[in-house]
Every structure is written in structure tokens, then in C-alpha cells.
Amino acid sequence: SAAEKGGYDYFMLKEIAEQPKAVADTLLGRIDVAGSLTLDEIRIPAEVLREATKVVIVACGTAFHAGLIAKYAIEHWTRIPCEVELASEFRYRDPILDERTLVIAISQSGETMDTLMAVRHAREQGARVLAICNTNGSTIPRESDAVLYTHAGPEVAVASTKAFLTQLVACYLVALYLGQVRGTQAGDEIRAVIRDLAEISTAVERVLETMEPVRELARSLAAKNTVLFLGRHVGYPVALEGALKLKELAYMHAEGFAAGELKHGPIALIDEDLPVVVVVPSPRGHSVLHDKIVSNIQEIRARGARTIVIAEEGDETVSPYADHLIRIPVTPALLQPLVATVPLQVFACELATARGNEVDQPRNLAKSVTVE
Ligand code: G6P
């Protein structure tokens, strides 16, 4: 009913709007007054976390994209090698796991069969499993050694939005916590990022306030067949997520690429008027990658494509090459996905509406896939 949707036309719009609160709720009570993380919920003993030699993340769909982003954070802040794998591939690959492997299973519903099978397989091999989940008492947390709940509240729309942002928050918390427990070199940076996380909810709110031009742009592209998404570093999984959202909701051909791979193939796809969305890394956090991606934007534009650029406030170097410029607040480099994903959600939702698609219940998709 309209009341359930809180006055919005679709649950997806309501859930996009709820993201600042979802992010704040997921942080609530997990940072103490001294600025340290208190994640007692992770009942895996600190010694076990200190001795872990490898982290393996398993998930499906949008949750898998959260896992891809987590890898950058975990390896950077903890120096523990981290692999990320689609749960459906992991299970049947005969992966190498032992008692010193920490497996993180990410699932909004906690009922995805592929992810559950990956969890069971990991535990049979003696690995410890930590679930990141949005649904209290669901199967994946029940079958895991520990769980860190995301507090997004119920997500109804099939295409995941607020659950994704809170999965990211939970992944950052786990990465920072592992860093804190293991006392890595990155101690000062970890303390600074914990402080910065407290500002993220406000940053997401600011993004949401500036989305009207994104909706207009989406409507203007309703007759297109293809959209490409490019990103680097943590912006690469953001590009994958932007493309997935467009497939799910607008039924358009959309692909995400690592911008560095452009020259190894995808550039052949660039055509007059093809919309290409580029997620630009922070110029302070990653000046080298930033400059490389600005060159990519120039290359794409030189071939006549329509460039849609997502860049930090104050980053002027991109302006001359952007047909459409979407601004996001300045954040620490690793946290950028929390703000960069939001315009892509709005973009896909508006394109779906403009193409007359059912936003909350896309064809052929289920909210939770409980078959293998
Ligand atoms: C389905 C949904 C996706 C979701 C995926 C994983 O395919 O349509 O939106 O990302 O399942 O779901 P989970 O509940 O495990 O996060």
C-alpha cells in the first residue's frame, strides 16, 4: 500500500531515501567514546582473528560487490591476504581452507542457497565463518560461527540499495576491527577512518539532495540500448554495481569495466553517443589513478561517447571532459563507494520508471534465491 511505501511511489525510492539512517544505525553502538571499535558481537576470539592467515569473502549479486570493495579495505588496513568469490563458484571449486582461514559470508536475506552452501562447505573444512547479514535469525547467521548484523531494516524492493550500503559499512567495520585487533602499521589511519565513518551518513544525505539532474539525465537516456560503467580501485566494483542495477531494473545491456582494461578490449565498444559512466577516484587519495582515469575519459570522449562523470566536489580536472558531471562529497579514498553508489541507484531506478518497468518487482528476479 501507499502507506507502507511511506509516501513514495516505490519501495526502492523509499529504501534509497532511508540510506543515511541505515548507515547511521549500522554504526550505532559499535564505536566507543575513545574512538575504538567495540564489536563484541563477533564472538570469534581475538587470538583466532590475530592468527588468521587468509580472509575469503563469499556472496552473490549485490552482496558480492560489497565483498569486492571489502577486499581493498581488508588488505590495506590489515595486510591479510583476502580473496572474494561468487558463492556459486567457490563451493564447487575445491577451495583451500583451514582453521586459520576467516570466511566472511555477506547476505542481505541470510537465505541465499549458494551462499549457505559456501558457508557449510567452509565450516566442514574447519574455517571460521563470520556472516554479515540484514535478517535476524535467518539461516546463514544461524549456521555461521558469528554474525555482524547490518541494521538497514527490512528491504522490500528486489534490487538491493540500503542493504548494500550497510554491507559496506559492516565490511569496513570488520576490516578496521581486524586491523585494530592485530595492531597493524595502519593504526593512525584506522583511527582517522573510524572518525570519518561517523560523517558518512551526512555525506549520503547530501548526495540524495542533489539527485534531480541525475533523474533528468536518466530520462533522457531511456531509448538507449547500452550503458558502460568504468571505475578503478574501489570504483571498479561500484561500476559493476551500477551496471547490475541497470540490468536488473531497466533491462538494458550494461557492463562494468576496470578502467585500466579499457585499452585491452572495451574501447572497441566505444561509439558515437554511447553513454559511459565513469567513477573517478579521489585526486588526494589516489592521484596516479585519478590522472589515469581522466586520460580514459578524454580517450572515450575523443571517440564521441557521452561521458557521465562521477567525481569528488572540488575536483576541477574532470570538468572539461564531462558531458554530465555528478558531484559526490569528499571522503577517504576507501570509503568513496558509500557515496558514489547512490547516484547509480537513482539513475537505474529512474531509467526503469522511464521505460515503464516495474521497479520493485523486476521481471524474472527474486528478492532471495533459495535454490542452487
Ligand atoms: C538476489 C537479489 C539480489 C541480491 C542477491 C543476493 O539475486 O535479487 O538483489 O543481491 O540475491 O542476496 P542476499 O540476500 O544473499 O544478499
The predicted-structure confidence for 57-87, as pLDDT tens digits, reads as follows 999 999 999 999 999 999 999 999 999 999 9
Q: Assess whether pLDDT exceeds 90 at residue 188.
A: no
Contact in structure between 256 and 348 (CB atoms under 8 Å): no
338 — phi, psi (to 5°)?
-65, -30
Ligand 1 centre and the CA of 59: distance in Å?
A: 9
Q: Report the nearest atom of ligand 1 relative to the CA of 62.
A: 10
Cα 302 to Cα 158, 207, 291: the distances in Å are 38, 29, 17
Q: Assess whether pLDDT exceeds 90 at residue 186.
A: no
In tens, the pLDDT along 320-333 reads 999 999 999 999 99
pLDDT at res. 301: 96
CB 112 less than 6 A from any atom of ligand 1:
yes
Q: Whole-angstrom Cα distance, residue 71 to residue 75?
A: 6
Q: Which residue(s) pair with 37 in the sheet?
A: 31
pLDDT at res. 35: 87
Contact in structure between 252 and 301 (CB atoms under 8 Å): no
Name the pLDDT band for 285 (thresholds 50, 70, 90).
Answer: confident
Q: Which residue, among 136, 161, 175, has the nearest Cα to 23 in the 3D structure?
A: 161
Closest-CA residue, ligand 1 atom 7, reads: 61
CB 19 less than 6 A from any atom of ligand 1:
no
Q: All 3 cell numbers of residue 352?
A: 526503469
DSSP classification of residue 280: P
Average pLDDT, the chain: 95
Task: Report the helix count and the strand count for the chain, using DSSP H and E.
Answer: 13, 10
In tens, the pLDDT along 22-52 reads 999 999 999 988 888 988 888 889 999 999 9
Contact in structure between 328 and 204 (CB atoms under 8 Å): no
Non-local (6+) Cβ contacts of 268 within 8 A are none
Q: Whole-angstrom Cα distance, residue 229 to residue 187?
A: 34
Alpha helices in the chain (DSSP H): 11-17, 19-27, 46-51, 61-78, 87-90, 113-124, 139-142, 162-182, 187-209, 212-220, 235-250, 287-302, 337-354
Ligand 1 centre and the CA of 111: distance in Å?
A: 9
Residue 117 CA to its chain's centroid (Å) = 23
pLDDT at res. 40: 85
Q: Which residue, among 325, 279, 322, 277, has the nearest Cα to 301 in the 3D structure?
A: 322
* 14 catalytically annotated: no
pLDDT at res. 41: 87
The pick from 132, 134, 156, 160 for probing ligand 1's pocket by mutation, whose C-beta has the most ligand atoms within 8 angstroms, reads 160
Q: Which residue, among 149, 155, 153, has the nearest Cα to 173 in the 3D structure?
A: 149
CB 61 less than 6 A from any atom of ligand 1:
yes
Give this prediction's pTM: 0.97
CB 133 less than 6 A from any atom of ligand 1:
no
Mean pLDDT of 88-110: 96
Cα 250 to Cα 107, 212, 325, 348, 359: the distances in Å are 24, 18, 22, 6, 8
> SS3 for 259?
helix
Residue 301 CA to its chain's centroid (Å) = 27
Ligand 1 centre and the CA of 188: distance in Å?
A: 35
Alpha helices in 91-156 (DSSP H): 113-124, 139-142
Name the pLDDT band for 2 (thresholds 50, 70, 90).
Answer: confident
The Cα angle at residue 307 between residues 318 and 217, in degrees rounded to 5: 110
CB 365 less than 6 A from any atom of ligand 1:
yes
Non-local (6+) Cβ contacts of 245 within 8 A are 159, 344, 345, 347, 348, 349
Q: Report the nearest atom of ligand 1 relative to the CA of 248.
A: 8
Ligand 1 centre and the CA of 27: distance in Å?
A: 22
Q: Whole-angstrom Cα distance, residue 127 to residue 115?
A: 15
Non-local (6+) Cβ contacts of 220 within 8 A are none
CB 201 less than 6 A from any atom of ligand 1:
no
Q: Assess whether pLDDT exceeds 80 at residue 369.
A: yes
Closest-CA residue, ligand 1 atom 5, reads: 61
pLDDT at res. 158: 94
CB 220 less than 6 A from any atom of ligand 1:
no
pLDDT at res. 354: 97
pLDDT at res. 185: 75
Q: Assess whether pLDDT exceeds 90 at residue 304.
A: yes
CB 369 less than 6 A from any atom of ligand 1:
yes
